[in-house]
């Protein structure tokens, strides 16, 4: 399994993204484009960042009826991104349809990941509001197994869940984990955080890092530190 640091480009406009990326002269970080940037700038931002030579995780978390997700994934497959995702709650049928839509005529496709339960959802709310009576670890494990059964490549999960996901779904099933902080940096609004080194030891294959890099005084130095701590 490949390991990499994915930088979350949580900026409101293309101008700010380019200002950030222009600071990287030697390396081309793997980047994540989320809803805010995609909805503000449209698919053109993906093409532009791809043309600069970055690998891209397009984090749009699709969740709809299987046919709609399949058609949407077909459109996304033409954007030449490297990773996309959806909600495992959409069912195995929806995940299978997504894979079909994502597969290009030449048989290639981006990696497809599932969100199990959002880390912002507490076990208490999941049980009381969503009427899921299982525990959070049981739910994450089952949703990951559903994603595996549908043929997906991995899940987005907490670094605290990565080892359990690998144990349930195999070492080759990717774990992509946000919620990463350096030992000496602020947690911001993340509740349960892990350092890059601990995430690696805990079984994370890719870590998603936003503010510790984007808001650092020297983002390039922070990115390099992250790579050093995660990959060695």
**Position 86 contacts ligand C5P (CB under 6 A):** no
Q: Which residues within the stretch 186-205 sit at the binding site for ligand C5P (CB under 6 A)?
A: 188, 190
Supply the minimum distance, in Å, between the C-beta of residue 118 and ligand C5P. Answer: 5
Instruction: Exactly one of 2, 32, 50, 61 is catalytic; name it.
Output: 61
Instruction: Say whether residue 139 binds ligand C5P (CB under 6 A).
Output: no
Closest CA to 82 of 17, 178, 4, 161: 4
5 Cβ contact partners less than 8 Å away, ≥ 6 residues apart: 29, 30, 196, 206, 207, 209, 223, 226, 227, 230, 231
Q: Report which residue's Cβ sits closest to ligand C5P.
A: 210
Distance CA(162)–CA(166), nearest Å, equals 6
* Identity of the residue, 74 or 142, whose beta carbon is nearer to ligand C5P in the bound complex: 142
Query: Closest separation between CB of residue 146 and ligand C5P, Å?
Result: 18
Distance CA 143, CA 136 (A): 11
Question: How many of the other CB atoms lie within 10 Å of CB of 78?
Answer: 9
Stretch that binds ligand C5P, among 96-104, 134-142, 166-174, 210-218 (CB under 6 A): 210-218
Among 40, 75, 118, 130, binds ligand C5P (CB under 6 A): 118
Contact call for residues 109 and 79 (beta carbons, < 8 A)? no
User: Is 61 one of the catalytic residues?
Assistant: yes
SS3 36: helix
Footprint on this chain of ligand C5P (rule: CB under 6 A): 8, 10, 34, 118-119, 156, 178-179, 188, 190, 208-212
Residues labelled as active-site residues: 61
């Amino acid at each position: 399994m490949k390991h990499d640091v994915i930088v979350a480009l949580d900026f409101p406009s293309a101008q700010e993204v380019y200002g950030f990326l222009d600071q990287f002269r030697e390396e081309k970080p793997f980047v994540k484009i989320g809803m805010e940037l995609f909805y503000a700038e449209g698919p053109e931002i993906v093409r532009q960042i791809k043309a600069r030579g970055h690998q891209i995780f397009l984090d749009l978390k699709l969740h709809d009826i299987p046919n709609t997700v399949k058609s949407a994934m077909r459109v996304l497959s033409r954007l030449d991104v490297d990773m996309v995702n959806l909600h495992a709650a959409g069912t195995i049928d929806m995940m299978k349809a997504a894979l079909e839509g994502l597969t290009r005529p030449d048989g290639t496709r981006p990696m497809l990941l599932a969100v199990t339960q959002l880390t912002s959802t507490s076990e208490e709310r999941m049980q009381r509001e969503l009427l899921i009576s299982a525990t959070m670890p049981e739910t994450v494990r089952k949703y990951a197994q559903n994603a595996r059964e549908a043929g997906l490549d991995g899940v987005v999960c907490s670094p605290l869940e990565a080892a359990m996901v690998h144990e349930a779904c195999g070492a080759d099933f990717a774990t992509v984990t946000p919620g990463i902080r350096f030992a000496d940096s602020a947690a911001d609004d993340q509740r349960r955080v892990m350092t890059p080194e601990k995430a690696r030891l805990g079984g994370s294959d890719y870590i998603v890092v936003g503010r510790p890099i984007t808001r650092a005084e020297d983002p390039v130095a922070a990115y390099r530190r992250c790579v050093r701590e995660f990959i060695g």
